Amino acid sequence: MFLQTYFPVAATAVTLFQTALAGYNPSAKNNVAVYWGQNSYGQGSGNLAQQRLSNYCSDSNIDIIIMSFLVQIKGTGGQPVMNFANQGDRCTVFPGTSTFNCPEIAADIKTCQSRGKTILLSIGGATYTEGGFASAADATSAAQMIWQTFGPRTSSSALRPFGDSYVNGIDFDFEAGVRNMVPFGQRLRTLMNASGSGFLITGAPQCPYPDYAMGEMLAAGGVAFDVIWPQFYNNYCGLQSYVSGAADQWNFNFNTWDQWARQTSVNRNVKVMLGTPAGPSAAGSGYTGGDRLREIIGFVKKFERMGGVMMWDVSQAYANSGFLVSVKNYLNTAREATREAVRAVAFRA
């Protein structure tokens, strides 16, 4: 997933009380997640430019918004660094650091959560180059800092880019190999559990299995993910490889990820969502729409751990008229593949 440059967008502040409401339903197969923060469609101004976070929170077709990206865990002054493309211009930085101070986004997080949206923060992206941590001790210390910075506020002196607002979880999206991310993720899991129920760890591996960048995190004994959304684009196993009407999908490998969820994942209740480009220019390959996408969604809905669709990204979805509405409709109404066909694919996985 790619980072974009900055363009100014005017907006007004909104302040609402933060609530525990969240849009993600682990029992449902019609969840929709969108990445926000990179202005992937690339418009510098106007309605098709990425808008402030709260602009998308009245959309009933969206359940989860993933803010992207935290591009350095330990940047200047040992503090995290974020990139939100044009929306970063609405932030200042804390003195002596490159860490954003974002009152507008803080207010929008509360607004979105009050409207029933799950808000996550993604670590990684195409320009993440730290490569993880030198040691497990460094990783666990960094996890403590990240959760103090973005989780529920405690008495710590950590810098708070979003003030009293906090995210509902952390997403991992690594495009290159990383070290000691397992102890980092495991410590985050412990800290989240101590903060209360409902906090999520999610991930966006590439669709080839095992994923090169996140393989150790996804392995037995790795990190207890709640949801993953493999990127079924820019890879041989992407949506473009789906064979219409075929029970056997030898390249399109959603069945492999469903098997991982049932047999390998640390959390055997993990859900798998279908990662898709939200527009023709969102990825080099894999964009699919219309009846073909309806058929693909019907095919994957019968897999036990299927949980919905993830889109890259919301600016692409809003520029692609009707796409977001159609996907939600497909999730609710698409004819599912026959149970026998899915059993046959799962048996051969």
For 245, the token pair is: 């009407």
Assess if residue 101 is contained within a domain.
yes
Query: Does the pTM exceed 0.75?
Result: yes
| pLDDT for the residue numbered 13 | 31
| pLDDT for the residue numbered 55 | 98
Assess if residue 2 is contained within a domain.
no
Task: State pLDDT tens for residues 151-198.
Answer: 999 988 999 999 999 999 999 999 999 999 999 999 999 999 999 989
| pLDDT for the residue numbered 15 | 31
Report the percent of the chain where pLDDT is more than 70.
Answer: 90
- Does 11 score more than 70 pLDDT? no
| pLDDT for the residue numbered 156 | 83
Q: How far from chain centre, in Å, is Cα 107?
A: 21
Q: Are 239 and 251 in contact (CB under 8 A)?
A: no
**What range defines the domain where residue 221 resides?**
31-348
Identify the CATH number of the domain in which residue 245 sits: 3.20.20.80
What is the band of 3 on the pLDDT scale with cuts at 50, 70, 90?
low
| pLDDT for the residue numbered 22 | 59
| pLDDT for the residue numbered 163 | 98
How do 92-93 and 100-101 pair as beta strands? antiparallel
Say which of 104, 130, 175, 216 is annotated catalytic. Answer: 175
- Does 74 score more than 60 pLDDT? yes
On the CB side of 168, CA atoms within 13 Å amount to 28
Assess if residue 4 is contained within a domain.
no
Assess if residue 8 is contained within a domain.
no
Report the percent of the chain where pLDDT is more than 90.
Answer: 88
What are the φ/ψ torsions at residue 239 (nearest 5 degrees)? -60, -25
Assess if residue 5 is contained within a domain.
no
- Does 343 score more than 60 pLDDT? no
- Does 56 score more than 90 pLDDT? yes
Domain count, the chain: 1
| pLDDT for the residue numbered 63 | 99
User: How many CB atoms within 10 Å of residue 338?
Assistant: 12
Assess if residue 49 is contained within a domain.
yes
Assess if residue 1 is contained within a domain.
no
| pLDDT for the residue numbered 155 | 80
| pLDDT for the residue numbered 295 | 98
Residue 299: name the closest of 332, 331, 337 by CA: 337
Task: State pLDDT tens for residues 227-251.
Answer: 999 999 999 999 999 999 999 999 9
Buried b or exposed e, range 115-138, using 16+ CB within 10 angstroms:
bebbbbbbbbbeebebebbeeeeb
Assess if residue 141 is contained within a domain.
yes
Task: State pLDDT tens for residues 292-306.
Answer: 999 999 999 999 999
Q: Is 175 a catalytic residue?
A: yes
What is the band of 337 on the pLDDT scale with cuts at 50, 70, 90?
low
Task: State pLDDT tens for residues 77-121.
Answer: 999 999 999 999 999 999 999 999 999 999 999 999 999 999 999
